[in-house]
A = this chain, B = another copy of it.
């Protein structure tokens, strides 16, 4: 299957099977910018950080990057100094194959923790990977970074400013260990917008806040979370112009939000994509806390899987969120069907209507705390027996 992703001027990408995965699928991919690009990144907040994250955080300070190399099959985490040396060796192999300085190469890994990366397999595959890079290759990269993902994730968008077009194209992987800050996943975005590093960083930070930092699959945060945004300037547009900044922020936010929803929709074992909107909160922080407590509740998530309009479990989760509430003020609706008014159920007819909503594979649960005017939305998925099967069997 060839993914349809818009080409971004000046970027090529591709993937090969280097033999890191037992199943022989593609497991090593690359993005290359024909000119050095401006770069911004967001990384896991987990205190246990994989070697590629530690290496990237050091290199990204320069604000410049020309290539990203990524592998699945091994996370290169919890490998101590050896892990760092192995990550460096991967970037050295990429730099040699591409004929660019090593410090312009960033790296990302995903897979099993605590096993040494097979560097020689990567080194052996690198020349072949470098020759396969193509303007249409981003979709191949999306395939190569999949782990328990059931479909590759990509999106691309264009907009125009002053009759000039700019393009954004992104790929991501997710599936399990998904929760901010920031959502556990890999995501790489290319654009031909021009940028200085500090503006690119701010744009990325703002877009992540409403996308990858507003989703959850299982409340976990991995050692390897990485979002990298490369901007090579070939469009002739630049973020320093206000019109460009506004247009770019809008498209970037759309791209990241789309990828974030793809990650939740493809949550391990997920059958439903559910928005949890908390409104009427005293503060944005309270709204977010309540939304995440509901979104991560095992009892809520299993009820969603069972298509059971069990609003009592939502009330329970709200009540243990650690945020001041008035139970007798709370309203809860499933799409436009009110299930709870003033903290009490709306009866069997409402339940029957809500059960019909629950049969959809995408809907919104709205919780009105009726205390203030702040709100927050988190997207989650249901918890199915397949999640357990996938994660009980992952390594076997």
A interface residues with partner B (beta carbon < 8 Å): 45-49, 75, 77-80, 112-115, 176-177, 218-223, 297-299, 302-303, 305-306, 308, 310-313, 315-320, 324-325, 327-328, 340, 342-345, 383-385, 387-389, 391-396
Contact = CB atoms under 8 A, between A and B. Distances in A.
Given A48-B327, A80-B328, A223-B312, 4 more contacts: A78-B343, A176-B299, A177-B299, A303-B394
A297 B220 contact: yes
Nearest to A345: B114
B392 A305 contact: yes
Nearest to A390: B302
Of A328, A342, A391, most buried by chain B (CB within 10 Å of CB) is A391
Number of copies: 2
A209 to B, nearest CB: 19
A394 B305 CA distance: 12
User: Which secondary structure dominates where chain A touches chain B?
Assistant: loop
Nearest to A311: B114
Nearest to A218: B298
A316 B387 contact: no
A243 to B, nearest CB: 40
A81 to B, nearest CB: 9
Given A298-B219, A315-B223, A308 B389 contact: no
B344 A388 contact: no
A65 B325 CA distance: 31
Of A78, A316, A324, most buried by chain B (CB within 10 Å of CB) is A316
Of A77, A221, A388, most buried by chain B (CB within 10 Å of CB) is A388
Nearest to A220: B299
A387 B302 contact: yes
Contacts of A384: 388, 392
A70 to B, nearest CB: 19
A306 B114 contact: no
A310 B111 CA distance: 12
Contact of A388 (B75, B112, B308, B385): B385
A319 B385 contact: no
A303 B78 contact: no
Contacts of A340: 78, 114
Given A218-B299, A312-B75, A395-B310, A345 B115 contact: yes
A78 B331 CA distance: 12
A343 B80 contact: yes
Given A48-B319, A306-B396, A344 B78 contact: yes
Contact of A47 (B223, B305, B313, B320): B320
Contact of A310 (B49, B313, B394): B394
28 contacts: A45-B320, A46-B316, A47-B325, A48-B315, A48-B316, A78-B312, A78-B327, A78-B343, A78-B344, A78-B345, A80-B343, A113-B315, A114-B311, A114-B312, A114-B315, A177-B299, A220-B316, A221-B320, A222-B316, A223-B319, A298-B383, A302-B387, A302-B392, A303-B394, A306-B393, A308-B392, A385-B392, A387-B388
A110 to B, nearest CB: 12
A78 to B, nearest CB: 6
Contacts of A312: 75, 77-78, 112-114, 223
A78 B79 CA distance: 51
Contacts of A176: 299
A392 B114 CA distance: 34
B344 A79 contact: yes
Contact of A316 (B113, B306, B345, B389): B113
